[in-house]
Amino acid sequence: MKTSCGTTDLPVLLPRRMPLACEWGPADAVRFFGSWTWLVLLIGMSVLSVAAQAADSPARAGIIETVWKWMPLISSGFLFNLLVSVGSMTLGTALGVVLGLGQISLHPSMRKTAWTLTQFFRNAPWLVLLFFAMFLLPFELRVGGLVIPLPAWLKAIIGLSLPVMGNVAEIVRGGIRSIPNGQWESAESLAFSRMQILWQIIIPQAVKRMIPPWMNLYAILTMATTLISVVGIQDAMTLTRGALVAEARTDLYLPLYFMLLLMFFAYCYPIARLTQVLERRFAVNA
């Protein structure tokens, strides 16, 4: 075996190596320098191409400066998301309380109807209900001679309030059912009517148990308001996409969406923490 330009009789297994100078021939030299020449030329052409593009394109603003420029517009869209969440939660809560009370009604037909509506809207996809409200509701309602317009943002509130209604109804039913039956029996022994028992004894105790899940539902609804961007409403998500299209810079995707993420986190995280505090204070899990 050849080693270091010499020979040996020992069986030696050598690692792969470059040929030594004494072993090189003209073909080895052409193959070695030819491969490196192509690599150097490729790197050089890439550097020249990048330099030419940088020279031809105007100077672009920094990422922080660009994000700061678009922050007021995106913040206004975020405030619109909050308004939609408040409107949907208000309407959904009002309707959900009615459905929740209907589930504990003494009338079987009313109880079954309320249970069916609750289960349907509680287990329906939010986006499907939103599309239902956006495209199937009319643009205006005529009541006699009165014309009531239904703008897109109002239909979005109605669409998001439907799943909220189903979840609030279940919260109300569960909160009322969580009160021990002894409370009902004691009130009945004092000649209280069913309505008096509900509004004066049961519901005041159940409200404390309803508040934490209700707040948790509101936080979920706030994050779900970005779904309205799918149906063409100018919310924070839509404005963020518009800013990215206007800038035409791929390096802004992460900063702008991260800024939007921080806005929702800064709003929803305190709600989640307050929910945990109220759960411990009211001993909901007890």
pTM: 0.74
pLDDT at 53: 41
Fold (CATH) for 63-282: MetI-like fold (1.10.3720)
pLDDT at 163: 95
Distance CA 99, CA 56 (A): 65
Query: Domains of the chain: which residue ranges?
Result: 20-52, 63-282
Q: Which residues of 261-275 are buried (b: 16+ CB within 10 A; e: fewer)?
A: eebbeebbeeeeeeb
Count CA within 13 A, CB hemisphere, residue 211. 17
Is 166 exposed, middle or buried, given 0-12, 13-18 or 19+ CB atoms closer than 10 A? buried
**Could you tell me which of 260, 256, 222, 220 has the C-alpha nearest to residue 75?**
260
β-strand partners of 2 = 7
Per-10-residue mean pLDDT of the chain, 286 residues long, equals: 52 50 49 49 48 46 84 93 96 95 92 94 93 88 83 92 95 91 86 87 89 93 92 89 88 90 93 86 59
**Could you tell me which of 102, 284, 277 has the C-alpha nearest to residue 175?**
284
Helix (H, G, I), strand (E, B) or coil at 4: coil
pLDDT at 33: 46
Distance CA 181, CA 195 (A): 16
pLDDT at 17: 52
pLDDT at 113: 94
Helix (H, G, I), strand (E, B) or coil at 140: strand
pLDDT at 192: 85
